[in-house]
Amino acid sequence: AIASADMDLNQLEAFLTAQTKKQGGITPDQAAVITKFWKNHRSQIHESLINQSCWDNVLKNMNWRVDLKSQLRHIDQINTPVAIVEMELGKNGQ
């Protein structure tokens, strides 16, 4: 739950306090160890979860714009918005 929510230290403290108060929960010493571990390894755990959730291609870059047509043969097509989206995909880890 801690890793999937990517808890900050305040959220972690509230979560672990609730866990120590639950019947059959963790002890305050266990909560202190979990807090220390999370402080030291949060970024690596988060990065690992991201890598596990990505399959093949990932979005490397995206550019977009909206154009309005100002001259056309037919008057009803003037000022019709056109969205142009450019996406660059790449392999995960490259």
Give the domain ranges of the chain: 3-53, 58-90
Cα–Cα dist 46/9, whole Å: 14
Q: What is the pLDDT of residue 10?
A: 93
pLDDT digits (tens, 9 = 90+) for 80-93: 788 999 999 887 66
pLDDT beyond 80 at 11: yes
Residue type, 25: G
pLDDT digits (tens, 9 = 90+) for 63-73: 999 987 777 77
For the question of whether the overall pTM of this predicted structure is more than 0.85, the answer is no
State the DSSP string of 9-74.
Answer: HHHHHHHHHHHHHSTT---HHHHHHHHHHHHHHHHHHHHHHHHHH--SEEEEEEEEEEEE----SS
